[in-house]
Structures are given as structure tokens and as C-alpha cells.
Amino acid sequence: MKKIVKTSFIAIVSILALTGSAFCLSRFIARKQFQPAFQKGMCYTTWNKDAYRSSKSDQSIEKLKGLNVEWLAILTTWYQDNCFSTEIFPTEKTPSDEGLIRAIEKAHSLGMKVMLKPHLDLLNTEEGGWRGEIACIREPDWQVWFDSYKNFVLHYAKIAQETNVEMFCLGTELSAATASHNDKWIEIINAIRSVYNGDLTYAANWSEEYLHIRFWDALDYVGIDAYFPLSDKDKPTYDELMENWKRWALEIEEWQKTVNKPVIFPEVGYRSSLGAATQPWEHGLGSKVDLDLQEDCYRAMVDTFSGKDWFYGMYWWNWGTDVRMGGKFNRGFTPQNKPAQDYIAEVYKRKIKK
């Protein structure tokens, strides 16, 4: 494989001089050079305005530190009414800025690094739909939507800069919106670069979106939310999971050669229930708790990708703001208080050489 390209300061200055790029030169001077880092991560989540600014949240982050987690992807969510709306806004479910900053500062105080990960979701899902289907029918509506989206992500990019966040994720699984209007996405990336000097990524959906995005060259890491289906059985064996990863790993590897960027999984996870490997993206709970299957899915993912020199880490979905969450009777995604939690501590203790 070609060595992953590191962005040279001299090269950037040359490009800016030749192209008159809108990128902010002072930010690039501050960055100088991009050096990819392996990320032993966890998605840290709430859909509550006040949860991040609680002592329980502080304790939960401390617990993650004890599990050898080195990176937190801290989630915050804004909303739009439905797939065809153009206005994006916070609600009472959106974490407060004060709470978000507290969680970031808590992680930093423990020596952890942070990816700030703003999500966009729908309020009205009665007729189906999800963020990957957000689209506009008329071109003027696209312009309004992109203006609203830029306002949304710039709000958090500025917080990321003020709090020295190491990485910013500029979007998640917006499959229909990234299928076109590449120029609008480049405008958003340039706008973020003008206020934020950390690393950038985007979290693409596993189902073809990552293959078709055209703005990867403007980012530092390419991100895939790795909810690839791994079996049609309710309870596959570890060996079957490993075998079924081969197809997807080869697809990613061949594609990575075309972008020559470090790959991360900003989200990957499995429910602790039967059927967890059939449609890993589904939040519907399986019929029966299966803690061993969740751990086997974790192991198979790590064992498949740990030896890939282009692979730079993962963020498990998801960890909540109360250390008591999860447990042996829980069928959801969280590894909290389950065997998968112990596995995370074990695998994240290993030294990774890149």
C-alpha cells in the first residue's frame, strides 16, 4: 500500500498561492502537518439537555478512562421536521453548550482526546425516513438547507476550536445529501477550516455512501459507520463472523487505495441480543439477551482490521452518561456492565504501532 499522505505545510502554502483558496492561512500555519493517530474510541451520547453537565456524567467519563479508552466521540444533536424540511434547529433534547463543554473539559482533564460529533435527526418519523434520506426537491430549497446546515456545524466547530478539540466530524450518514452538491460540501469544509484548526472527518454510511463521496480529499480521515451485515443467523459463531467480514474488508481495502487516506470507524457496534449481526444498524431489540454474541462481534471486528496498516481506529456505539447503564439483562447497543466492556479494556490496553 502507498504510504498515507501527510499534509505538508509548504505544499499547502504553494497550493494556496496558486489557487487563491478560501482556506484560512493562519489556521494552516497553526496546524503545520497532519499526523494520523490510532484512535481507541467510544461514542459518548445523550439526548438530554442537562446530562453532560452532571456529576454522573463526570463519573461515566472517568469509568471510560479506566477502560483504557483514549478518544471520546461526544455526540450532540439538532433536528429538522422531516426529510424535506430546510430548517435545522436545536430542541430540548439537544445537550446544552455548557454541558458539552463540561464533557469535553472532563475528558481533556483525564488526558483523553475528543472528537466532537454533531448529528442531524428527524423529529417526525411517523411516515418512515431517517437522516440518510434528507433531500430537497427544488434547487432553491437545497440552498436554504445547506445554509442552515452550515450554521449548525459552524456553531460546534467554533466550540471545538475554543475547547481545543482534537477532531471534528462534520456530518453523519447524510447519504442523499452527499450524493450531489459536492461544491456545497466543499464550501462547508472551507468554512469549518476557517474557524477550526483540528483534524476533520465525515462519518459515512456503510451501505455505499462512503464509496461515492467526492470530498474525501479535503478531509484528514475518511470515516465509515461500520454497521456491515455479518450473518443471516440469529447466533453466528466467531469463525462465521470472521469469514463474513472478509468480503467487506476487501471492499474497504480496495477503495482505500483510491483515496489514500487513513480510515476510521466513527461508529461501530452491536446489540447484546440474538440477531445482532444480521442488521447491526437496527435499534430494534432482539428477542433474547445474548451477551456472548455482542462480545464475539466486537472481537471479530478488531481481529479483522487490527492488522491493516490503513486502519486507524474505532468508536464503539455507545456509552451513556450513567455508569449504571446496560447490565446483563440489557439487549441494547451499550457495552456497559457487560462482557464487551471487559473486552474493550483488554484490547485498548494493547500497544498499537503505526
The domain spans of the chain are: 1-35, 36-348
- Report pTM: 0.91
Q: Which of 95, 117, 59 is nearest to 318 (CA)?
A: 117
Q: Which residue did the predictor score with more confidence, 284 or 20?
A: 284
SS3 149: helix
pLDDT in tens, 233-263: 999 999 999 999 999 999 999 999 999 999 9
Q: For the chain, what percent of residues have pLDDT higher than 90?
A: 87
pLDDT band at 30 (very low <50, low <70, confident <90, very high): low
Q: What is the pLDDT of residue 287?
A: 82
For position 11, what pLDDT does the model report? 38
How many other β-carbons are positioned within 10 Å of the β-carbon of residue 60? Answer: 24
Band of pLDDT at residue 16, cut at 50, 70 and 90: very low
In this structure, whether the domain defined by 36-348 belongs to CATH 3.20.20.80 is answered with yes
For the segment 121-162, what is each residue's pLDDT rounded down to a tens digit? 999 987 778 999 999 999 999 999 999 999 999 999 999 999
Contacts of 107 (CB under 8 A, 6+ apart): 61, 72, 74, 113, 114
pLDDT, tens only, 52-98? 999 999 999 999 999 999 999 999 999 999 999 999 999 999 999 99
Q: Is the pLDDT of residue 45 over 90?
A: yes
Q: Is residue 178 a contact partner of residue 213, using CB atoms and an 8 Å limit?
A: yes
Closest CA to 150 of 184, 100, 178: 184
pLDDT confidence of residue 67: 98
Of the chain, the percentage scoring pLDDT greater than 70 comes to: 91
User: What beta strand segments (E) does 123-250 contain?
Assistant: 167-172, 199-205, 222-225
